[in-house]
Amino acid sequence: MSPRLASLADLPPGVARPRYDRAAHGLGILHLGLGAFHRAHQAVHTDDALAAEGGDWRILGANLRSHEIPDALNGQDGLFTVLERSESDRARVIGAHGPAIGGDAAAILRAACDPAIRILSLTVSEKAYGIDRAAMDADPAHPAVAADLAQPQAPQGVLGIILAALAARREAGAAPFAVLSCDNLPDNGALLRAGVLGLARRRDPDLAGWIADHVAFPATMVDRITPATTARTLADAQALTGHRDLAAVETEPFSQWVIEDHFPHGRPAWEAGGALFVQDVRPYEAMKLRMLNGSHSLIAYAGQMLELPHVRDAMADPPLAALVRRHMQAAGATLPQGAGLDPAAYAAALLARFANPAIAHQTRQIAMDGTEKLPQRWFAPAAELLRAGGDARPFAFATAVWLAWLAGQEQAPDDPRGAALLELARKAGGDDEALARSVLGLPGLAPPSLVGDAAFTGTVRQAVTRIRRDGLRAAMATELAS
Ligand code: CS2
């Protein structure tokens, strides 16, 4: 049996490895959310930064609930393999991680109070934050926020832990950390700031004022297509490295990171690994969320209905690929002019990335958490497009695909509002108008101007009816002919 990955000795020559002395660099980042995406993205950029300019910027990783990946990393001295998949696979062992914490909120809070930690970064997924986006405030109805309001000294959620750590650092006269959200949320820095301030105001307005004045929440756009790790990922990593690795991840060759350059207490030289530091992330973020993630969601629901398990299968399906191109173009038309973006070139690159035959990115994975993802991917751009007098038909069709998919679910979909969605679909029965009205009317999902646009909702309703009556294939053909 191959030995477990736990040191850099004995790696075959073709495997890339840290180009710096790991022991010479202390911890500087506490990262919450050790999912595959973080390991394939920020960890790799940090590895590049350490190799280029050093510094005490290694990462203490933590998962709020699960301990599987932290345990795996702790059993491997923090090392893990990133498998880059294209015509041939390439393996790289990442050294940026130190020890990891799993499922122990008190230990995470202690780590966050350590003045050596100058950045607290997060990839916890959209639904974990507990922020009411319409109100730009902490959402007291979110289970973690409710728990942290009741027991502020023993926080369990993201906002509560950040707030308790900032309060303790202020009390101790230590500098705060910068808070860096790396999730696919619009204006993620400002949003997280609003959530933390909202919780702070309920506890101690003075503390809220101090956070507002002293804590940086830089915004970021993150991008690297990273399918969930499977047994095959682990087997292929082992074949290349000669070592068993329970934390290996697979990803595409492409990686992009655009970061607002606002780190009062320093940062790694992430630009060494290709990160772009800018004053305003929003144009990049809108392009990515609307063009990449927006068409991903269309692919996900259509793919699920057409039994296409992977994104690459959708791209090999000519009518669906044509609709994806149309969607990207419509999304590109919503982007700010004069910000130096090139939506046409971006779309061409995306189509090639989606079609990568070496990447098995599951449509089921992307279809999860629709109510958290679709507001920024479809509904905000559709509302803007309508306001500007544009043609929002591609967005209406995507919305109809989602609704028809929902109507076909026998169990609650994997979504924080899954039970409510199932209930609304059941209540609507065969009434597509009621389905569209009730689902799109869920609080905070779509801008009121979109829900109130009779032409848009009428187009959605007609498309749902066509899909349910004639099947998605036939409805796609009609749509392409229109
Ligand atoms: C995907 C994203 O699962 C999803 O919703 O759209 O995870 C996507 O793969 C990444 O944002 C790419 O950077």
Same domain, 455 and 333: yes
Return d(Cα 148, Cα 420) in angstroms, integer: 25
Residue 258 domain-assigned? yes
Q: Give the tokens for residue 412.
A: 């609650």
At 344 the pLDDT is 97
Return d(Cα 42, Cα 337) in angstroms, integer: 29
Same domain, 28 and 43: yes
Please identify, by atom number, the ligand 1 atom nearest to the C-alpha of residue 41: 13
Residue 10 domain-assigned? no
Same domain, 262 and 313: no
Residue 400 domain-assigned? yes
Q: How far is the CA of 315 from the centre of ligand 1 (A)?
A: 16
- For residue 273, the one-letter residue type is G
Same domain, 324 and 448: yes
Return d(Cα 364, Cα 102) in angstroms, integer: 26
Residue 199 domain-assigned? yes
Residue 345 domain-assigned? yes
Q: Which residues line ligand 1 (CB under 6 A)?
A: 184, 223-225, 293, 296, 365-366, 373
Same domain, 192 and 265: yes
Return d(Cα 352, Cα 329) in angstroms, integer: 15
Best residue among 37, 181, 369 to mutate for probing ligand 1's pocket (most ligand atoms within 8 Å of CB) is: 37
For residue 335, what are the domain limits?
282-481
Q: How far is the CA of 310 from the centre of ligand 1 (A)?
A: 13
Q: What phi-psi label fits residue 136: left (phi over 0), alpha (psi between -120 and 50 degrees) or beta?
A: left
Beta bridge partners of 61: 31, 100
3-state secondary structure of 397: helix
Residue 4 domain-assigned? no
Q: 117-173: per-residue pLDDT in tens?
A: 999 999 999 999 999 999 999 999 999 999 999 999 999 999 999 999 999 999 999
Closest CA to 86 of 316, 254, 299: 254
Residue 461 domain-assigned? yes
Beta bridge partners of 83: 91, 250
Angle between helices 343-355 and 318-332 (to 10 degrees): 150
Same domain, 199 and 84: yes
- Taking CA atoms only, the protein residue closest to ligand 1 atom 13 is 223
User: What is the CATH number for 239?
Assistant: 3.40.50.720
Instruction: Give the number of domains in the chain.
Output: 2
Last residue of a domain, one of 278, 294, 318: 278
Return d(Cα 415, Cα 402) in angstroms, integer: 13
Q: How far is the CA of 164 from the centre of ligand 1 (A)?
A: 30
Same domain, 414 and 359: yes
Closest CA to 106 of 166, 153, 60: 153
Same domain, 145 and 162: yes
Give the Cβ contact number of residue 24 at 10 Å.
10
At 338 the pLDDT is 85
User: What is the CATH number for 327?
Assistant: 1.10.1040.10
- Taking CA atoms only, the protein residue closest to ligand 1 atom 5 is 366
At 339 the pLDDT is 87
Last residue of a domain, one of 278, 303, 328: 278
Same domain, 32 and 90: yes
Please identify, by atom number, the ligand 1 atom nearest to the C-alpha of residue 373: 5
Same domain, 331 and 236: no
Q: 365-421: per-residue pLDDT in tens?
A: 999 999 999 999 999 999 999 999 999 999 999 999 999 999 999 999 999 999 999
Q: How far is the CA of 292 from the centre of ligand 1 (A)?
A: 8
Same domain, 257 and 332: no
Residue 307 domain-assigned? yes
At 360 the pLDDT is 97
- Taking CA atoms only, the protein residue closest to ligand 1 atom 6 is 293
Q: How far is the CA of 193 from the centre of ligand 1 (A)?
A: 23
H/E run at residue 92: strand 89-94
Low-confidence ranges of the chain (pLDDT < 70): none
Last residue of a domain, one of 278, 312, 336: 278
The rounded Cα 213 to chain-centroid distance in angstroms is 28
Same domain, 295 and 359: yes
Q: How far is the CA of 184 from the centre of ligand 1 (A)?
A: 8
